[in-house]
Amino acid sequence: MLKTTLAALILTLAPGLAFAAGCSMAKTTAMSCADGAMPDAETGTCVPVTTS
């Protein structure tokens, strides 16, 4: 009886926990910059591309 109740509880909570874990990943988006600039991962801004 205890095993059945525990299994039912786990199966009930598992989808909610999976959804909660996936929500934080949805906030990550790819950054795009104008021509002549590229994203800077450290500052989170676009920086001009310099050529030498």
Domain count, the chain: 1
Say whether pTM exceeds 0.75.
Answer: no
Q: For 5-39, what is each residue's pLDDT tens digit? A: 988 877 787 776 666 555 554 455 677 889 999 98
Amino acid letter for position 44: G
Asked if residue 50 has pLDDT above 60, the reply is: yes
Residue 30 DSSP SS3: coil
Domain that holds residue 19: 2-48
Torsion of CA 18, 24, 27, 30, to 10 degrees: -90
How large is the C-alpha radius of gyration of the chain? 22
Residue 13 DSSP SS3: helix
